[in-house]
Amino acid sequence: MKPEVQKIGEVREVQEVRAEEKAAADPADTALDEVVHQRTRLSVLAVLAEVREADFPYLKATLKLTDGNLGQHIEILARHGLVTVRKGHEGRRPRTWVRITEEGEAGLAAEIAALRALLRM
């Protein structure tokens, strides 16, 4: 389907093709959730699916990420309801724990199913 053209004054803007139109054109494209599909976030969810809850240093060491990189991805996952973040102290040391939510487990399962479906195409 052709993109719609809209005239604004002397300038013509081409509007993006709607998601539904993209889905009809390429169903494999829309099956993957961009939040979950990103490599680091997918890795975080995969680790948490196994251990349920992990502290920040464990995730950082396991995934070989920097503090800033891991923190940014955890923030995105939390904003989308895929993980919860709990902050506290262990003795005098501040600690951050991350736990996968039911939505996170469902998102991971859907991502795995979508990848399997792509492999069968």
Output the six-digit token pair for 57: 């240093």
Binning pLDDT at 50, 70 and 90, where does residue 11 land? Answer: very low
CATH 1.10.10.10 in the chain: give the residue spans.
32-120
Higher-confidence residue: 11 or 118? 118
Judge whether residue 36 has pLDDT over 50.
Answer: yes
pLDDT tens-digit series, residues 47-86 = 999 999 999 999 999 999 999 999 999 999 999 999 999 9
Query: Length of the chain, please?
Result: 121
Which CATH number fits the domain 32-120, given the four candidates 1.10.10.10, 1.20.1250.20, 1.20.120.1200, 3.50.30.30?
A: 1.10.10.10
pLDDT tens-digit series, residues 82-116 = 999 999 998 999 999 999 999 999 999 999 988 88
Helix (H) or strand (E) holding 85: strand 83-90
- DSSP codes of every residue in 22-66: HHHH-HHHHHS-HHHHSHHHHHHHHHHHHHSEEEHHHHHHHHT--
